[in-house]
Amino acid sequence: MKQLLKTYNSVIKFILTFLMVYVVLIFGYRLYLQMSTGQVYYPDYVTKLVADQSAILLNDFGYKAAVFPHPNEASVKLFLNEKYVARVIEGCNAISVIILFLSFIIAFSGKLKTTIIFGLVGGVLIYVVNLFRIAVLAIGFYHYPEYENILHGVVFPAIIYGMVFLLWIVWVNRFSKVSAHAKKV
């Protein structure tokens, strides 16, 4: 047993670090969501911000976009050219994806400064790509409502999670301690 622990020490350390960081960040995020219930921003500040910024992006694309709080649920209704096309919920704001991304890079840490910079840049990139994802999804729902399930359920999750996976690959191969160790060997 001791030999197994020694052999797989780095794997066990990665898994435990990943889980610890993920649980702490998710717990903090859930706490934020509980505290934001009933506040000025509905459903919560980040989701409202994402909906507003997506509408700005759609307006920049030449559409007439508007968002309104949903009267019956914690979401924001998104209209395109006065047609209701989607609702933006808490799960659309990419915070959970950013938490997953950060948990991985911290578990595969590199130098502190590099980890912080890559985490910030990666988090912002995920956030911005998510805004484009929502805008393009809304356009797709507007023009091709019959493809809503495949667009929302397959195409766009593949894009956002594919990008996160590519960021992880870059992180492991260029910046993590694993990469630094491999260069020495």
Residue with tokens 């209209």: 79
What local confidence, expressed as pLDDT, does residue 175 receive?
A: 85
Rg for the chain, CA atoms, rounded: 20
pLDDT digits (tens, 9 = 90+) for 104-128: 999 988 899 999 999 999 999 999 9
Residue 183 has pLDDT above 60, yes or no: no
Give domain status of residue 73, yes or no: no
Domain that holds residue 19: 2-41+92-176
Looking at per-residue pLDDT, the higher value among 39 and 81 belongs to 81
What local confidence, expressed as pLDDT, does residue 185 receive?
A: 44
Cβ(58)–Cβ(139) below 8 Å:
yes
From edge to edge, which strands make up the β-sheet containing 65-69?
65-69, 75-80, 83-89
Cβ(97)–Cβ(80) below 8 Å:
no
pLDDT digits (tens, 9 = 90+) for 152-170: 999 888 989 999 999 999 9
Residue 179 has pLDDT above 80, yes or no: no
What is 167-185 written as a DSSP string? Answer: HHHHIIIIIBHHHHHHHH-
Give domain status of residue 61, yes or no: no
Give domain status of residue 80, yes or no: no
Structural domains of the chain, count: 1
Give the span between the Cα atoms of 82 and 69, in whole angstroms.
15
Which residue, among 60, 68, 65, has the nearest Cα to 141 in the 3D structure? 65
Retrieve residue 151's tokens. 């667009």
Give domain status of residue 48, yes or no: no
Give the span between the Cα atoms of 131 and 94, in whole angstroms.
9
Mean pLDDT value across residues 62-88 = 93
Residue 84 has pLDDT above 90, yes or no: yes
What local confidence, expressed as pLDDT, does residue 42 receive?
A: 67
What local confidence, expressed as pLDDT, does residue 110 receive?
A: 81
Give domain status of residue 75, yes or no: no
Cis peptide bond N-terminal to 71, omega within 30: no
Give domain status of residue 57, yes or no: no
Task: Tell me the backbone φ, ψ of residue 138, rounded to 5 degrees.
Answer: -60, -40
H-type helices in 83-147, by residue range? 95-107, 112-143
Mean pLDDT value across residues 125-149 = 95
Mean pLDDT value across residues 8-33 = 92
Confidence of residue 11 (pLDDT cuts 50, 70, 90): confident
Residue 40 has pLDDT above 70, yes or no: no
Give domain status of residue 156, yes or no: yes
Give the span between the Cα atoms of 74 and 156, in whole angstroms.
22
Above pLDDT 90, what percent of the chain? 67
Give domain status of residue 65, yes or no: no
**Residue at 21: amino acid letter:** V
Give the span between the Cα atoms of 163 and 98, in whole angstroms.
11
Looking at per-residue pLDDT, the higher value among 40 and 165 belongs to 165
Mean pLDDT (the chain, rounded): 90
